[in-house]
Structure 1
Amino acid sequence: MLGRSDLAISKGSDEQDIVRAATELVDNGKWHLTEGGVGLERPFKFKTFKATWAFMNDVAEECQRQKHHPEWANVYSRTEIRWTTHSPKGMSAKDTHMARFCDEAAQRHGEQYPKQAETKTEGGPVVEAGDCCGHTHTKPDGG
């Protein structure tokens, strides 16, 4: 269970609602607090690039309705999403709403749970895409 001291809550937000919603998202084991507790982040993995893109399109449509955008990165079948409110800075109800929306959209698009080594799209380990382009990639030494 998260406490108020774990989160940097956006000014004007209902603190009890944010703590409760963030706790639910983190306790299910998929979402993690960003550094300083200003937001939520998590990786998503799908079977194909097409499924990943469809998921991202669904999220983008909801972003337009909510007038709120993520920080995200995509590599082939993986997407890393971070929700935080920039003004006023901190976590808001829009962040927790969009995190729940992402979970629901991921389920609709056939999310596959990433292995630990595949959970970062930027600055983390490189995960080869396999046969995403119709052929298997090999290393110069034949491996």
Structure 2
Amino acid sequence: MNCLTSRLCARRISITPLTRLPLHTPFPLTRSFPRMASSAFQFAEGEDVQQLARDADALLQQGWVQDGDGMGVTKTFHFKSYFKAVAFVNMIAAESASKKHHPTMTVRIGSVDVHWTTHRPRGFTQKDVTMAQHCDQGADLMAVDPGQGLKCGPSI
């Protein structure tokens, strides 16, 4: 193939002893894996660590999951309709606005993923616990078990 007519080739490179790749590179050639999440929460500076640890354990018992960096919690709530999922998001949004603490939420047709963490000061705080508990209280009124949530596709 002629490199002058090829779109993918800008120039032909011939490998000679002078153009060999270096034996040593500044980057390791071994495969690296992402660090697994620590089992310990990363609490924000200035928090009551003992109380917050007890509250975090209680959230884990309620189905919340520690996030990958240990600085927050996440949980998926399931609903029978998209309307109920959006109503749940609005309930969280109203409380978030009054507390000035906002989550990351992902809305799907029959579920809502909620993630709480604090950005300033960075880490897990009592605000995250309070808002996660608020989510659980709202879900007690609106949510359903995971198998009962609305799913995409034809109804049988």
TM-score, normalization by structure 1? 0.75
Q: How does 1:121-136 map to 2 (within 5 A)?
A: 129-130=152-153, 136=154
CA distance in 2: counterparts of 1:31 and 1:21, whole angstroms: 11
* 2:53 maps to which of 19, 26, 29: 19
Q: Secondary structure at the match of 2:135?
A: helix
Alignment pair present for 1:59 and 2:92: yes
Residue in structure 2 matched with residue 98 of structure 1 by the alignment: 131
Q: Secondary structure at the match of 2:146?
A: coil
Higher relative helix content: 1
Q: How does 1:1-143 map to 2 (within 5 A)?
A: 6-28=40-62, 30-109=63-142, 111-115=143-147, 129-130=152-153, 136=154
Residue in structure 2 matched with residue 123 of structure 1 by the alignment: none
CA distance in 2: counterparts of 1:17 and 1:97, whole angstroms: 13
Tell me the number of residue pairs that the alignment of Structure 1 and Structure 2 aligns: 116
Gaps of 5+ in 2: 1-38
CA distance in 2: counterparts of 1:18 and 1:84, whole angstroms: 13
Gaps of 5+ in 1: 119-126, 131-135, 138-143
**Offset from partner CA, 1:2-31 (integer Å, 9 cap, x none):** xxx711001111111210111001023x10
> How many percent of aligned residue pairs carry the same amino acid?
32
TM-score, normalization by structure 2? 0.69
